[in-house]
Copies of this chain bind each other. A is one copy, B any other.
Amino acid sequence: MTAKPARIPRLESSALETPNRILAAALATFAERGFHAASLKEITERAGANIAAVNYHFRSKDELIRQVLDRFLGAINSERLAALDGCEAEAGADGPTLEALIEALIRPMVSLSRDQHDGRAIVRLLLQVRALPRGVTNNAVAQQFDPVHARFINALNRAAPWLHREEVVWRYDFARGAMMHILSDLDPGMRRLADLSPSITAADDETIIRQLVAFIAGGFRAPATPR
């Protein structure tokens, strides 16, 4: 048996990081063209990798999709949970206020979707998952979001004791819808629909958050529905 040549520990990070570059390129391309229309050719070219690299590092295009969702959705949700932990720690025995909870829910997504390069991409991906339900994407998103939803619903249930738990779930869903909708309106590719009011198109993060919190808190404060 011949001795193998001693393995030199890799210093060239480029090799090890090829999968990361592919993930980043895939995020951008999926967001621009959609999961289906985005081709592995374009993704690998953007990543500076060979077209066969996707099948080597990930098993298939579907696996790449799953890993993109896992990686980039995880980031927002850990921020949201950290914000929730933070406002629960600050709050007294009664728990956080409605406004504090709503802000913990929406601020990470709003600011991510605006100052980070990948932010708008993530919003588009989430909308794609809803617009074109598929097993792969539904499962990846649900796995990332379900624990977050459960914690926020519990906290909101405490902060809005005049509502039954079911009604909290309805309103929590409405809140997320309001947020996702305005974020997609503020997407430059979508501007056409927000043109009704230029002051919205030009709004900064804090204005968006203030408007969202006011509306959502008002929605939660509405009296419980009869029956």
Query: In the assembly, how many copies of this chain are there?
Result: 2
A155 at the interface (CB under 8 A from B): no
Q: Given that A196-B146, A220-B218 are known contacts, is A181 also in contact with B190, CB under 8 Å in the complex? A: no
Chain B residues, Cβ within 8 Å of A1: none
Chain B residues, Cβ within 8 Å of A131: 34, 124, 127-128, 130-132, 184
Min C-beta distance of A1 to chain B, whole Å: 52
Chain A: residues with Cβ within 8 Å of the partner, total of 63
Q: How far is the CA of A141 from the CA of B206 in the complex (A)?
A: 29
Q: How far is the CB of A120 from chain B (nearest CB, A)?
A: 11
- B residues less than 8 Å from A216 (CB atoms): 174, 219
Contact of A196 among B153, B194, B211 (CB under 8 A): B153
Check A142–B173 contact: CB distance below 8 A.
Answer: no
Contact assessment for A219 and B215 in the assembled complex, using a CB-CB cutoff below 8 Å: yes
- Report whether B181 and A181 are in contact in the complex, using a CB–CB cutoff of 8 Å: yes
Q: Report Cα–Cα, A133/B184, bound state, in Å.
A: 10
Which residues of A are in contact with B by a Cβ distance under 8 Å?
A: 33-34, 36-37, 124, 127-128, 130-133, 138-139, 141-142, 145-146, 149-150, 153, 165-167, 169-171, 173-182, 184-185, 187, 189-190, 192-197, 199-200, 210-212, 214-223, 225
**8 residue pairs, one from A and one from B, having the closest CB atoms:** A177-B181, A218-B222, A127-B131, A133-B189, A174-B178, A215-B219, A128-B131, A169-B197
